[in-house]
Structure 1
Amino acid sequence: MPRWPNSLRNRVLAVLLASMAASALLVGGATTLLWDPFTRWMLRDLIEDDTQGLVKHLQFDAQGRPVGWDPAKIEPWMFESLRAEVLVRVADADGRIVLANDEHAQMLAADGQTFTGRRQSFTFHRQGVAMHAATAPFKSGGQRWYLQFAVSDRMVLRMRESVGVDVLRQGTLALGATFLVVFLVTIHLALRQALNPVRQASDAARQISPRTLDARLPAAEQPLELRPLVDAFNQALERLQAGFRTQQAFLSNAAHELKTPLALIRAQAERVDADRGRERMLRDVDQVARQVQQLLLLAEASEGQNYRVHTIDPKPSIREVFDFMERVADRHGVTLGLQMSPAPARWRADRGALFTLLKNLLENAIQHSPADGVVKLQVSEAGFEVADEGEGVADHELPRIFERFWRGAGRREQGAGLGLSICSEIATVHGWRLTAHRLSPGFAIRCEMAVSLAWRPVDRP
């Protein structure tokens, strides 16, 4: 059995058809329950209108007395042939009958009551038959008159059963069928026109390829309900484009930076003896391995989905980094100091990324500190600072220290210029801010966490 296509248009049509069916059932049920009282209310209102209409077509003689009705408007046989079912009377101000279609010379009134002469609708019984009547006072020739009109209940019911119900049923079915056809045609055309921007957006999305990632779908032309989806798609394209750019930059940078060390290794292997050049070759190989490792770390740090951020107690991670780097500091003859005031309670961070961030900052400070120098790690609730006692960086070079592969005048031959770039990527993804400051003497890098109390991924251009 074929399934109905799961499209937005079909869903809207299904909802509309279900609403129409529910409305039809509700109206049908209400009509069934209220049909009889509604009919009687309509009958009373109709009799009142007919009574007023009879007043308009009443004719008078030269003395101003009613003598009948305009035959061009009301044919006489209606009152003469149906005397048992239709009654009409006209009386003067004293209630005396001056015109009637039967032999009874008294005004009509509800059961058990007398004629009052006021405008009203009422029901009475005549020879066991229920009659629906109305009284309409009016003035003509300066005199006051009363006109009464009555119709038997059995006549009304017979006409309704023989003519009215069938006509109503047939008219309802015809009207419903016509409405349904018109509705389906118009709603089909309207939905097709309304969903045209969605089809255009689908065609535009189908044309996007890795070479055209800068294309974006027009969100303003979409319906309000679909704009968040289009915006999310565009944001996904931006992240994908940023990932491609990062990948391309990584490949380009890696190829550029690895050319020279690899060329030196090849040249040394060809020129020197194995015993004399082995140590230098191993050192060059280690440098290449370090550069490759840092490039990989940089690529991982640039993608927010690689992080697992939780609310953590940072003190164990800080102690772990401090103990690890203390051995490195001892090899360089540098003293490593730690100060926590006040001790941080909770941070939103990825433990592994936090370890890498602190390790790279401490390693950079240790390698740029003089022998017998001191490197301080100061931690607070709002962030931390790593300070050394080295030569520092010139003021005009401070904005460049986080650039990839940048190394200042006091560059280290074993460095690739990627350590601080990795730190910057980690801080940016966490929503933190790294800033560089000159000291007297020395240099400091501060990490301010208060700029983002809650972790959020960062969109990069």
Structure 2
Amino acid sequence: MKSIQQRLLTSLLIGLPLLWVLTSSFIAWKLWHEINEMNDTQITQVARYLIGVAPKEDDDKDNHGQDESKKEHTPKIYNLKSKRLSGDLGEAEDDYMGFAIWDKKGRLLMADENGQSFAFLPDQYGFLEERDSAYQRLNPFSKRWRLFYVHDDHDHEGRVIAVGQNLKSRQEMIVDAMSVQLLPMLIGLFAFMGLVVWLIRRGFMPLTQISSELEQRQPQDDSPITADVPKEIQPLVSALNILFVKVADTLAREQRFTADASHELRSPLAALKLQADLLQQQILPLSGVEDDNQLFYHTQKISNGIERATHLVEQLLILAKIEPQQQLPPEQLESPDWLMLTDIVLSDVNRLAREKRIQLKRTVNCNNPADILPILINPTLFKLLIRNLLDNAIRYCPEGALIELQLDTNAIRVVDNGIGVEPEQLTRLSERFYRPAGQSQLGSGLGLSIANQIAELHSLTLEFANRSQPETGFIVTIRNKKAISRT
């Protein structure tokens, strides 16, 4: 499910442009309609004016004293290109409008330079539309104009007046008018969308701060969240603060119980182990006792059981200490001396290896020891990690095996030449209390789980694998998670 912030941003950033498009489309359509009506009204007003000022045929006869039929007719053509006649009309100043006046016989009486090319249509009244049959009789020039025809039959019989407006100039004027309206609206839309994004992110900033604080919080930390949050979020923050106290108290009680139980069990187990050892020592020199070998076998089983229980208690005690942690405090981390650290660990497990005649070997696969896996570690925990891996290898390898601790620039490996692990069991080895079936060795199933948790605390990962054929054995690799993500 998407976040509330993402859903709001998606809805608004899609909805606002869609609403703007619908609103702008309506405004553009309305503006186009209104400007067309205004221009058509202007055309009709010019036509009315021309009806009143156009010359009469009788006036033409009186002024010249001759019958019009006895002389050649010459129309009056007006040129409006003079700078004194043209105002601030933009790109339409020369060919914005035109007019023409004909007599009933189709002779042109008066026109401007545009109107003299208009088509004479004696049977047309009003605006000429494309659907009218007379439209087909227009010449190419006339089809580029919005034409209005009126007949002056009342005072001056037969005169036909045509007033036209250039369609291209009209469209340019409409587009310019629409641009003046829509461009500021478009700029305002982008500004408003930017404001919406800023306001939403600013409004959700307290939640982001709380999320960041929760990611870094330790489970045992019961300190309250002190971020300044809106009133709507305050009940949630208050509930979280109460939950933190409960969780921290529960973890503390569980940790104390595990630690106390482990400590309480160590003493009686140590006493039982001592008594079992003493019993074995007393049985050995006895003679004449029937089934003394059977008694020694049972005492050996008792001793092994006590040793296993002791190992389990120690592992549980370690688990109780490291489990509540999600990350290590920076003051506990330091740059390791790998040679010295591994010397200590190898010395710790050497006795157990000698008992099974297992050879331990350390290999440094780089020229400079300072280049070995350059990370910061908690030395105490990391010794425990490597010791658990070596201890696990010693316990499950046959007698006479070879266990090699390999130190490399990007990884640390524990490699043995034992029998390995079934492939389907590899993914479960780090689970708590999991032990592959058929094991006869002492163990609790917690060693690799503890090692995996320590690796997680150091942002490392444990990789389990069998050695490639024809070799047999098991490999555990300690690798940096960041190096894996880069590859």
TM over 0.5: no
More strand as a share of residues: 1
**TM-score, normalising length: structure 1:** 0.41
**TM-score, normalising length: structure 2:** 0.39
